[in-house]
Structure 1
Amino acid sequence: MLRAMDEMIDPGDLRLFVAVAQQSSFVAASRRTGVPTSTVSRAVARLEERLGVRLLHRTSRRVSATDEGARLLARAAPLLDQLRDLLEDAADREEEPSGRLRVTAPVVTGAERVGRALIAYAAAHPRVSVDLRLTNSVLSLVEEGLDLAFRVGPVAEADVVARRLWAIPSALAASPEVVARALGGRRRVDAATLARAPAVVTHPGRPWRFLGADGVVRELRPNERFAATDPRVAVEAALAGLGVVRAPAEMIARAGGLVALECALGEPEGRELFAVYPSRRLVPRRVRDAIEWVRRTGPGGSDVARRRRPPG
């Protein structure tokens, strides 16, 4: 495959080729690596010239690997991962974590507990820089070049490790006006009454799930009156009298002004927060330490991450 064995292959060119092949786009590879698109294009062209083969098919709409490019990608990508792990392992032998920590988290959780923990972590470790992306979309760790994700479960991705951090209990609530008008003044309601009442939802089209005392999960289709993917907005809508809301219990309690409800179907099913990272052999110290800092700020955690550094 090599046309000129005496010419040294630049590992940087190989890394940029792998990024383009994985992303099927020069522009996406540029965003992932932080290298200008023109530089990425020149690096791939240089690698093709050194090897004497075409590695990528290029059209106006898509970039795809040739047979030779696919074989190189299959061999080179794992080797580059191993090299990165070795370098990070060498860096981890130092007392202080260092490097860039690229993280994604849901909007609400990320802006609250996760965000506060990472701010404290960055303040305590000046050699670590943090890039936190808040989105409710599930970003690919590999394609986006992310070190760590905080996700509300279940986590269905392959090739990742998911570590449970804490539970997020849910609750039902409504304004006093809705309780009086739509629930007959009752705080404990049956399924039929709840299904008829106007509802504020955070996941339009999805049923509400309840865990009964017998351990059976039962579903109910809410009568959607108002929908907002951000639970903070949903709680505000409930406060305005637009309907019964199902949201994180902590958020409902903090809002005040809402009446806590019970349903005969059981307890509203809660969610769980997970730390998710690529399932490779070595996990950089900055990632391990960041997970621990976030875990400590969760419900039932010691919350000491805001006040002191964790042991090394």
Structure 2
Amino acid sequence: MVRFLTKRIFIAIVQLFVVASLVFLFLRLMPGDPVKLALGSEKAADPEIVAAMEKQLGLDQPLLKQYTTYMSDLAHFHLGTSITDRSSVMENIMLRLPRTIEIALVSIIIASIVGIIMGLIAALKWRTFTDFFMTAMAALGISLPVFVMGTLLIVIFSLTLNWFPASGYIDFVKDPIKHIQRLILPSLALALGLAASITRMTRSSMLEVESKEFVQTLRAKGLPERMVIFKHSFRNAIIPIITIIGLQLGSLIGGTVLVEYLFNWPGISTLLVKAVSYRDYPTVQGCILVISVFFITVNTLVDILYGLLDPRVR
């Protein structure tokens, strides 16, 4: 098990190094001058002001020198200073990241509970009306884009029923009730599509396990149906379900752009979009790296969980 853990951690470190290098390279290949965008059209017309700011930001250095400085700063957990407003990139990210993680965690919890329950019901009621209904609902959930789902939720639960606010953000410390009210709709907009994917995976995984000979043998020996389903069938079917939940949780951190924009939720995704439009290299690099760290960490934890659940993985 120690060897397995060491291997997974080493792979995660290599992945982070590759991501950091690619982010640095691709940003330099993007069209547009970040200094001129930050200065504005009036100041950007003065070559001396542009040269002074490039020197201040280190953009006048050779590309290799910029890269070594960039990697050295990362090694010391320094993400730099924003080009647009000269604020600390780390502080901006740490302010917004908990909001994105909050909406992602709530969404994945809702999606996991709903998806696993629907998938189990569909598998246990195979080829019945219940199975067809659950499968149809899952297909509908997968086919609807998240911005369409979010718009429908706003129209139904905010504009028509007036149950929840349409958008906005209020800090939990200031008003917990209003914070939760504004969290429900964006979380549901993300969760419903994820729940559909988890439903289909749970159903197919359970049906595959249910067709195995050992399950039929357990039933033939007279084991209670509940024990066969939850102790044996579901335990063997859980690994593919954990896979999709882990991958979806990692993807959610970077995939909340549309939801955060639609519901005016000030998370890291909206910060990233704004930084890209202004070619704010430090902020873009910082946001992508933080999202990558979260994604790689979640995948590593999922792999470790595999090893704990299934000795064959080890």
TM-score, structure 2 as length reference: 0.25
TM-score, structure 1 as length reference: 0.26
> Which structure is higher in helix share?
2
> Which structure is higher in strand share?
1
